[in-house]
Structure 1
Amino acid sequence: MKAYVFPGQGAQFTGMGKDLYDNSPLAKELFEQANEILGFEITKIMFEGSADDLMQTNVTQPAVFLHSVILAKVLGDDFKADMVAGHSLGELSALVANGTLSFEDGLKLVAKRADAMQKACEMQAGTMAAVLGLEDAVVEEVCAAIDGDVVAANYNCPGQLVISGELEAVKAACELATEKGARRALLLPVGGAFHSPLMAPAKEELAAAIEATQFNEPSCPVYQNVVAKAVTNPAEIKENLIAQLTGAVKWTQCAQAMIADGATEVIEVGPGKVLQGLFAKIDRTVARSSAEV
Structure 2
Amino acid sequence: MEKDFDELTIADDYMFYRVMEDTDICKTLLNRVLQGKVETITDIELQKTIDDAGRAKGVRFDVWAKDCSGRIYDIEMQALDKKDLAKRIRYYQAAIDVSLLGKSKPYESLPDTFILFFCTFDYLKKALPVYTFKTVCSEDSLIKLDDGITKIIINSQAAAYEKNEKLKVFLEYMNGKVSSDDEFIQKLEHRIKEVKANEELRREYMLVNTIERDARNDGWKAGVAHGLAEGKSLGLAEGKSLGLAEGKSLGLAEGKSLGLAEGEIRGSRQAKVETAKNLLQFGLSIENIVQATGLSKAEVEAL
Settle same-fold status: TM greater than 0.5.
Answer: no
Larger helix percent: 2
Bigger relative contact order, structure 1 or 2 (CA pairs below 8 A, ≥6 apart) = 1
Q: Structure 2-normalised TM-score?
A: 0.27
